[in-house]
Every structure is written in structure tokens, then in C-alpha cells.
Amino acid sequence: MTSITKFKFNSFEEQSYLVWSDRGDGLAVLIDPGFDTERDYDIVKNTLDGKGLKLAAILLTHAHPDHIYGVGRLCRDFGLKVYMHKGEEMTLKALDGLCREIGHTVPDSFRDHIKLVEDNEVISFGGLQFMAICTPGHTAGGLSWLCRESSPAATDLKGDSSRLFDLGWKILFSGDTLFAGCIGRSDLPGGDYDCLMHSIMSRLITLDGRTDLLPGHGKESTVADEGMKNPFLQPFNEPDLEE
């Protein structure tokens, strides 16, 4: 069984997720650790200790400051690799200017710990597998992470992506690409509205509707609910009418 603890961090109320398998070897991953205070760091560490978990890796959906404030600290303390898409190097280069614009401190560097992943690449930790799905638009190298219990079953994204649910891929961490009832902003460096909508409609909404959606901010949802009810997606659901 996949277990998840959600944390809400910093003034942006960013949501980080600690994920592990009850049938694994006690290894866990942390998605988008955005804590920026000693108190919140202690919350993460005490949660790991209390559940008998060892942090194995950090997965990033993107590198905006509210999602990476805690990465450098965790890398120093645990010697972790940070998995992200190469497109986020652009976001990291723009961090200083972005932080000055929003009045926040620049997150500690973690460049020596970065491990770049490709679209559809699958990585495994502690009885779980995570598939990197490229969803640029909010940032140039945005990822959504699809998760399942480890399985030897083959994965082929060239076919119908809705089949992935039946192969166990049932949890989607969408970062700031898709929210419950909303979508990510595209007006920051590396953002592109057309690219964002293409990512959502071609890579996320095509997943099985039963897939759980855990975003970087706000309430949880499902792919089906967002496909049917998200007002930002409705114009893209309208049928093309011939004159």
C-alpha cells in the first residue's frame, strides 16, 4: 500500500508530499520540499523518525522557490539526489531575479545533487515507482510524477495512456501544472500558456479518470473531476462545429 503524508509549507501554502510503500524497505521520497523554517524542517525530520523511514530522494515538479526552499538543507543533511527535468535549469538561472521580485530569500543551491530525468523515465525507491511526465508551461521543464507500487509490468506510453491505471499507476503529483478547479500561472520566466494547456490536455487529462490528483497547492481531486468540472479546461472540451 502506498502511504502519503502531506505537508503545507511557507507563505505560499505550498504542498510537499512524503511518499513510501508499507511493503517497501523503509525508504521514502519527498516531493517538492518547500519548508523555509527550522520548525518545518523539524516536522519533516520528526515524521521520518516517527514512521521509521529513511529519506532516499527528492523529486521536483519544478524549481520555483516555494517548492525548493528546503532542498539544499535536505541534500546537506542526507546526501540526496534531486530528480528534475533539464528544462528546469532555466528556472534555476532565473531564481535570483524572481526572488527579488517577490521579496523572498534565494533558496540554498543544490546543483551538485541534481539528477536529470527524461520524459517517461521511471525511477524506483522503496517498493514504489515514479514516472516522470513532462508537463511544461508553468515552467520550461515542469514535470508531473505518476506513482505506483513497484511492478515488472511493461509500460508503453505510445498507446492509450488511460491503460496506465490498470497497470497500477493511480496517483498523480501535478505540481503547479493542474489544480482542483484551476491551472498553473504561465506569466513567469519560462512559462507559456499554449504549452501549459497542451501539457494538461494531452498528458494529464488523457489519464484514467480515476487517477488521484495531488497538486502543489489547494485541494486534492481526480483527473475525471478536472476534465469535467475545471472551468479553465471547459473551452478545450467543446466539440468543433463545422459550419
Domain assignment of residue 202, yes or no: yes
> Among 36-40, 41-45, 153-157, 195-199, which is the least confidently predicted range?
153-157
Query: What are 44's strand-pairing partners?
Result: none
**Which among 240, 135, 115, 134 has a CA at the least distance from the CA of 177?**
135
Which residues span the domain enclosing 79? 2-237
* Dihedral angle computed from the Cα positions of residues 222, 225, 231 and 234, in that order, rounded to the nearest 10 degrees: 110
pLDDT tens readout for residues 17-36: 999 998 878 999 999 999 99
Cα angle: 186, vertex 209, 220; to 5 degrees:
60
Cβ neighbours of 77 (radius 10 Å): 11
Domain assignment of residue 158, yes or no: yes
- How far is Cα 232 from Cα 119, in angstroms, rounded to an integer? 25
Write down the pTM of the prediction.
0.94
Maximum Cα interatomic distance, the chain, rounded to a whole number of Å:
64
Query: What are 133's strand-pairing partners?
Result: 144
State the SS3 of 138-190: CCCCCEEEEEEECCCCCCCCCCCHHHHHHHCCCEEEEECCEECCEECCCCCCC
pLDDT tens readout for residues 200-229: 999 999 999 999 999 999 999 999 999 999
Place of cell 523503509: 26
- How far is Cα 1 from Cα 18, in angstroms, rounded to an integer? 14
Domain assignment of residue 214, yes or no: yes
Reported as a pLDDT band with limits 50, 70 and 90, residue 241 is: very low
pLDDT tens readout for residues 104-153: 889 999 999 999 999 999 999 999 999 999 999 999 999 999 999 987 76
- Sheet containing strand 82-85, strands side by side: 2-9, 14-21, 27-31, 54-59, 82-85, 114-117
Q: Residue 234: its pLDDT value, please?
A: 87
Domain assignment of residue 57, yes or no: yes
Cα angle: 114, vertex 120, 124; to 5 degrees:
60
Place of cell 501544472: 177
Domain assignment of residue 185, yes or no: yes
Domain assignment of residue 243, yes or no: no
Average pLDDT, the chain: 93
Number of domain units in the chain: 1
Domain assignment of residue 113, yes or no: yes
Domain assignment of residue 242, yes or no: no
Q: Are strands 82-85 and 27-31 parallel, antiparallel or unpaired?
A: unpaired
Place of cell 512524503: 18
The CATH number of the domain where 192 resides is what?
3.60.15.10
**Does the pLDDT value for residue 160 go beyond 80?**
no
